[in-house]
Amino acid sequence: MSRAQAKYRELVAGAPVETTVAEEHGHGEHEVHAVPVWLLAAVLAVLLVLTVITVLVTLVDLGPLNIVVALGIAVIKSALVVLYFMHLRWDSPFNSIVLLCALLFVAIFLAFAMIDTAEYRPLVDEAVKTIAK
């Protein structure tokens, strides 16, 4: 409830109306994002096409690039989901910054994990050869 609404209710009721701190600072109201159905259907169609492309890429042997292409398509699909289905496109820029910082930290942690796995790769290859015999 906004301050103007609280004042109006006070005048009508003749007594003070209790409001919460969140309502006094404008956090009690939420803006509704009416997304057209055609836009959601278009995003869904793009997601389905990208899924088919991901499956088709697995049929082609690109060597080590297979994982790069699959992860690239997955990043595009996740960006579409976050932007349109989770309404981040219409949200405050602060939430976008928080999401990007979280993704940056995940990327840093994954990079450290990849460096660590490269250290133990010879041991893993040797164990696989032993099991395969």
Residue 1 has pLDDT above 60, yes or no: no
Task: List CB contacts of 70: < 8 A, sequence separation 6 or more.
Answer: 54, 57, 58
**How confident is the model over 48-104, as pLDDT tens digits?**
999 999 999 989 998 888 888 999 999 999 999 999 998 888 888 898 899 899 999
DSSP state of 54: H
Residue percentage of the chain with pLDDT more than 70 = 75
- Compute the distance between CA of residue 112 and CA of residue 115 in angstroms, rounded to an integer: 5
The three-class DSSP label of residue 45 is helix
